[in-house]
């Protein structure tokens, strides 16, 4: 599975690099650092996963490092994909689909998020919805 995700990340790097080569495109200028970030992260993932396949992947330190890197990669690549989805350019939207697949693969390798017991503040809108739904639960 590591090798499959590594290959997907490499494909992602190549496709994002190809799109980023059109730097003067106004659509890419508007997106800012999204493409360079996607290129860098997908390269890091591909290289790291390639180097960790085989017997080296069995050590606990390597597994923890890969999980941490994959969790961060999933987050960043997902953000890049969201930015690309808003594009009017067909090729950039195609890259968004590839970035999403890569982010999903990295999230799968990262595994479930650890529960730390630290309370996470809810956004105001979610807090209001929770109060409304719990307040009306007993009303018939």
For the chain, report the end-to-end CA distance as a whole number of angstroms: 51
Print the SS3 string covering 65-106. Answer: HHHHHHHHHHHHHHHHHHHHHCCCCHHHHHHHHHHHHHHHHH
In this prediction, residue 6 has a pLDDT band, given cuts at 50, 70 and 90, of confident
pLDDT of residue 100: 92
Q: Are 99 and 93 in contact (CB under 8 A)?
A: no
What are the tens digits of pLDDT across the range 28-37? 777 778 878 8
For the chain, what are the domain ranges? Answer: 2-113
pLDDT of residue 140: 45
Q: Are 13 and 100 in contact (CB under 8 A)?
A: no
Cβ neighbours for 41, distance < 8 A, ≥ 6 positions apart: 72, 73, 76, 77, 80
CATH for 2-113 is 1.20.1270.360
pLDDT of residue 127: 47
Phi, psi of 112 (to 5 degrees): -65, 150
What are the tens digits of pLDDT across the range 17-30? 888 887 677 777 77
What are the tens digits of pLDDT across the range 79-118? 888 888 888 888 888 989 999 999 999 998 888 766 555 5
d(CA 61, CA 105): 20
Q: Is the pLDDT of residue 8 over 60?
A: yes
Structure-model confidence comparison of residues 75 and 119, the more confident one: 75
Structure-model confidence comparison of residues 2 and 133, the more confident one: 2
In this prediction the pTM is 0.68
d(CA 22, CA 52): 33
d(CA 28, CA 17): 12
Integer-rounded Cα radius of gyration of the chain: 19
């Amino acid at each position: 599975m590591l090798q499959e995700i590594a290959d997907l990340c490499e494909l992602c790097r190549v496709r994002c690099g190809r799109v980023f080569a059109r730097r003067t495109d106004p659509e890419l200028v508007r997106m800012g650092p999204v493409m360079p970030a996607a290129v860098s992260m997908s390269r890091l993932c591909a290289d790291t996963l390639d180097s960790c396949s085989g017997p080296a992947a069995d050590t606990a330190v390597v597994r923890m490092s890969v999980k941490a890197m994959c969790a961060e990669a999933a987050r960043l690549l997902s953000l890049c994909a969201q930015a690309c989805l808003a594009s009017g350019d067909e090729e950039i939207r195609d890259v968004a689909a590839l970035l999403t697949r890569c982010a999903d693969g990295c999230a799968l390798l990262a595994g479930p998020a650890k529960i730390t017991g630290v309370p996470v503040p809810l956004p105001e809108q979610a807090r209001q919805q929770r109060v409304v739904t719990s307040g009306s639960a007993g009303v018939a």
